[in-house]
Amino acid sequence: MTASRPRRATLPDVAALAGVSTAAAGRALGGYGSVSEDVRRRVAEAARQLNYRANRLAASVRTGRTDTIGVVCADIESPFFARALRGISDVAHEHGFSTLVTNSDEDLASEREAVQLLLHKQVDGIICAPADVTQVDHLAQAQTGGTPVVLFDRVSDHLEADAVVVDGMKAAYQAVRRLLDLGHRRVAIVAELRQPREQDWARFLTPQAEVSLGELSPSEARLLGYLRAHWDAGVPVRRELVRRTGTYAAEAAYQQTKRVLALKNPPTAIFTVDNLMTVGAYRAIRDLGIAVPDRLSVVAFDDLDWTVLVSPALSVIAQPVYEMGAEAARRLIRRLRDPEPAPPGTLFMDVTLVERESVAPIPT
C-alpha cells in the first residue's frame, strides 16, 4: 500500500515544528513585522524540512492585494500584442507583480467576460486594449469598484483613465502625405474599420471638423489621417481605393488588396494600417507579381521582423511597442502604489517613419 498523500504543510505546521506561534512563523517567512534572528532561522529550517509552500491566495484574501495585473489584449498571437505584453510583464515583474493575460479577439462580449474574470480573480489593476472605445461601461465599473484601469493602444472619451497610445491620425497623415508629395495620386488604404461609418468619413473630410481620437478605433484614426492628407494636398479621395476588411484578418486584407490592384485604374501606392493587414496585402502583391516600388509603392503601419527580409525592404511607420506596454504597466503600478495619484491622462508616444526601399516617386 502506498502511503496516503500527506497534507501539504501549512503555517501552523511550520510554527509547531519551529516551536513558535503561527504569527511568528508568518512574520519570519513573510518578511513583515519584526522577528528575532533566532526565530527566523528556526522557522526557515522548519519550512525547509516540511517542504513548506506559502499560499499567497490566503494572504491575498486577508490583505486584499494580489500583486497581479490583469491584461486584456485582442490577441496574444499578434506580434504587436506579444511585444507589448513583453513590455508589460517585464515592468510588472520588476515591481513584483505577475500578469494575468486574457484575449478578447476584438470582441466586446469576450472583453466583458475577460474583465469579469480578472475582477473575480481580484487583480489589483487592469490594462486593456478596448475592442470598442465607445463601449467601456465594464471598465468604468471596474474603476468604481476600486480597480484602476489603464487603456492601451486606444483612448476612450467615455472613460477617465490613463491611456498609452500613438497618434495614429498624425502618423498616417505623415505617411500618406509623403506619398502624395512624391506625386502619387491614387493611394490605396487597407484597413479593418469594423464599423462601417461612411457618414462619419464625410465629416472627417471637413477640415474644421473636430474629431476626437477618443471616439475612434485605431484603424479609423489612421483612415482619418489618410483622408486629411488628401484634403490638405488637394487630392480627391477615391472611394474605391479605401478598402475595408471589416475584420481583423490577413486573409481579408489579401482579398481586398487583390481586388483593389485589379481595378482598371489601379493605385500606384498602398498604405496598410496594421500588421495583419500588411501580411495579407503583401501576400497579394507578391502573388500578383507586382514590382515594388516600380509599379507600386508600399508603406505599412507597424514594423515587423520580416519587413527587412523581403525585397525591397518595406518602409514602415514604427511604433515603440515594447515601450508602450512598459509605460502602461508603469502608469498602472504608480496608481496602485500612490494612495493619491495624479488625475489620469493620455500619453501619446512618438512613431518613426522608417524609409526603406518600398517607396518611389511617380515620374513626372
Backbone φ/ψ region at 64: left (φ over 0), alpha (ψ -120 to 50), beta: left
Q: Could you give the 3-state DSSP secondary structure of residue 177?
A: helix
Q: What residues between 244 and 263 interact with a second copy by CB under 8 A?
A: 250
> What DSSP element (H or E) covers 260?
helix 250-261
Query: For residue 152, what are the β-bridge partners?
Result: 164
Asked if 53 is part of the footprint of a second copy (rule: CB under 8 A), the reply reads: yes
Q: Which is nearer to a second copy, 129 or 169 (CB)?
A: 129
Asked if 279 is part of the footprint of a second copy (rule: CB under 8 A), the reply reads: yes
Select from 36-44, 80-88, 267-275, 306-314 the region that touches DNA (CB under 7 A): 36-44
Query: For residue 25, what are the β-bridge partners?
Result: none
Cβ at position 139, least distance to DNA in Å: 21
Cβ at position 57, least distance to DNA in Å: 8
Single-letter amino acid, residue 114: A
DSSP-assigned letters across all residues of 200-228: HHHHHHSTT----GGGS-HHHHHHHHHHH
Which one of DNA, a second copy, none interacts with residue 63, CB within 5 to 8 A by kind? Answer: DNA
| CA–CA gap between residue 199 and residue 213 (Å, rounded) | 17
Cβ at position 61, least distance to a second copy in Å: 5
Single-letter amino acid, residue 210: E
| CA–CA gap between residue 210 and residue 203 (Å, rounded) | 9
- Total residues contacting a second copy (rule CB under 8 A)? 48
Select from 15-23, 169-177, 243-251, 319-327 the region that touches DNA (CB under 7 A): 15-23
Applying CB under 8 A, the residues found at the interface with a second copy are 5, 8, 51, 53-58, 60-61, 66, 68, 75-77, 79, 82-83, 85-86, 89, 98-103, 117, 119-122, 141, 145-146, 250, 279, 282-283, 286, 304-306, 308-311
